[in-house]
Amino acid sequence: MCLHSFIYPSSFHFILHCFFTFFFYYSFLNSQKKKKKKQIIFLLLFNMVTVSKPLIEQFLVKPNTSPLVIPDIPLIDLSKPESKQHLVKACQDFGFFKVVNHGVPLKFINKLESEAVNFFNSPLATKEKFGPPDPFGYGNKCIGRNGDVGWVEYLLLNAKPESDYPENFQGIVNDYVTSVKTMACEILELLADELKLQPRNVFSKLLKDEQSDSVFRVNHYPPCPEFQENERNGSKLVGFGEHTDPQIISVLRSNNTSGLEISLRDGSWMSVPPDSESFFINVGDSLQVMTNGRFKSVKHRVVANGTKSRVSMIYFGGPPLSEKIAPLPSLMQGEEDSLYKEFTWFEYKKSAFNSRLSDNRLGLFEKIIAS
């Protein structure tokens, strides 16, 4: 059952809520000084407008046009010698690809998913002991601090081994993250090899650094049966709104429920078929900058399901906060101009977290090149 069914089981309850909300704010208003009254009146109006809007509508997006041509998602076998050529091509053309023969033990994957399901099936009061996120912890429907919402609950965790996790997560998360990080570093080194970069750890050393600002996220998109009424007219239930990932590389794995979509160059959205035994890789904004735009950070989103639960796990490989991010000189050809201003990861992270999900975060750091 959807959340607002518990809040307003009838119109009478909604009217009753509005009455008591108005009474509370009116009484409080009379006790305040004049300079605070305008702020309180705004809060009253905001509260009345917000609760009068059915909760489900906050998460709906209109149907988009279908892509004229549905491309194949690059599938790369990491055990093959030619994988590095395919990796570079996928990063240039898509910024997104699927990998198999990745070396992550299945037991680590299954244990973590099982523990995640147990956690999200816990009573809300139990989960809220680990929230609100600041920035790490449990969150529910509110994403960030700038008004983004989604039909999702999540755990955001520090990827460092000594970090505090909810009970039963500690060893499991460490095993999983260590293995996934190894795979991510292997991919970054294969990319460096194909680009003829020296040293070959020019990207991967940023993830291996003790001060690496990497994070790990577990998302749960619960079913919402009420959404089925809106599904018939083509609407979609937003689980996690459209965005790019600001870090260097993201490694995603989910159960066999669909939901992930990527934005194509024509502006349409393509659904990504789920595959619980493979991993999906996103180029992050920082890697796009370091390659001076050769690799593309792909915009993506998640739409939730009316009847099925989706669980996803994402490792975001980030550099140390003090690391300077700029196009690599060894990649610049001839008189090629740098497309981006140099910035530290701390500066970009701060800017990204002060923006909305769908904002063009790199726009503030792009150089204006004279034609």
- Environment class of 268 (CB within 10 Å of its CB; exposed 0-12, middle 13-18, buried 19+): middle
Give yes or no for a contact between 306 and 228, defined as CB atoms under 8 angstroms apart: yes
Calpha distance 173→159 (Å, rounded): 8
Q: Which candidate in 232, 310, 356, 361 is catalytic?
A: 310
> Vertex 221, ends 160 and 103: CA angle to 5°?
45
Active site residue 356: no
- Environment class of 142 (CB within 10 Å of its CB; exposed 0-12, middle 13-18, buried 19+): middle
Give yes or no for a contact between 289 and 315, defined as CB atoms under 8 angstroms apart: no
Beta-carbon neighbour count of residue 149 at 10 Å?
Answer: 16
Calpha distance 349→12 (Å, rounded): 46
Tell me which long-range contacts 191-196 makes (C-beta under 8 A, separation of at least 24): 191/84, 191/87, 191/88, 191/91, 193/84, 194/84, 194/85, 194/87, 194/88, 195/88, 195/291, 195/331
CB under 8 Å to 160, separation ≥6 — which residues? 214
CB under 8 Å to 370, separation ≥6 — which residues? none
- From residue 173, alpha-carbon distances to 118, 156, 225 in Å are 14, 12, 31
Phi, psi angle pair for 316, to nearest 5°: -105, 105
* Catalytic residue positions, numbered: 310
